[in-house]
């Protein structure tokens, strides 16, 4: 192989490497743009997957992403009465917890009545 042939082969290999590097850089830049848009609009993983399958410029991708973000279902609102009980629940002792549960006004408990001693009453 002559020097001219070696130079031509080196030139072809360098040209191919440059083409491959440019292609990889363009692919990486497009992926970065898609993910930035997805983060900005708080898209779900499924929507990001849909966005990954689309080829286009940033304007086109942003328009699609905004449409995807617009179809999100709103977060469920908490019920105002969540966690509350209705009515008076009778107090009962559960075997596993050994604690009183239910209403504090339940009078059906067995045992001696409880009286509270007040320091003011003791002096009189």
Strand bridging mode 92-93 / 100-101? antiparallel
How far apart are the two ends of the chain, measured CA to CA in Å? Answer: 124
Tokens of 61: 């991708």
pLDDT tens sequence across 53-95: 888 888 888 888 888 888 765 566 777 776 666 655 555 555 5
pLDDT: which is higher, 74 or 124: 74
Question: Residue 52's pLDDT band (boundaries 50, 70, 90)?
Answer: confident
- Check if the beta carbon of residue 81 is closer than 8 Å to that of residue 95: no
Question: Residue 21's pLDDT band (boundaries 50, 70, 90)?
Answer: very high
CA distances to 16, 28, 41, 64, 75 from 35, in Å: 29, 11, 10, 13, 23
Q: Tell me the whole-structure pTM to 2 decimals.
A: 0.48
- Phi then psi for 82, rounded to 5 degrees? -65, 130
- Check if the beta carbon of residue 61 is closer than 8 Å to that of residue 34: yes
- Check if the beta carbon of residue 89 is closer than 8 Å to that of residue 100: no
Distance CA 11, CA 14 (A): 5
Residue 110 has a pLDDT of 63
pLDDT: which is higher, 50 or 19: 19
- Check if the beta carbon of residue 34 is closer than 8 Å to that of residue 52: yes
pLDDT: which is higher, 71 or 45: 45
């Amino acid at each position: 192989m002559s020097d001219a042939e070696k130079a031509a082969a080196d030139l072809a290999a360098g040209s191919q490497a440059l083409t491959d590097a440019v292609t990889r850089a363009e692919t990486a830049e497009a992926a970065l743009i898609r993910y930035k848009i997805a983060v900005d609009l708080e898209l779900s993983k499924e929507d990001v997957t849909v966005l990954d399958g689309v080829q286009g410029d940033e304007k086109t991708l942003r328009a699609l992403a905004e449409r995807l973000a617009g179809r999100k279902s709103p977060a469920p609102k908490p019920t105002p009465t969540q966690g509350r009980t209705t009515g008076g629940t009778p107090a009962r002792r559960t075997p596993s917890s050994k604690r009183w549960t239910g209403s504090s006004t339940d009078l059906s408990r067995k045992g001696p009545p409880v009286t509270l001693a007040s320091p003011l009453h003791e002096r009189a």
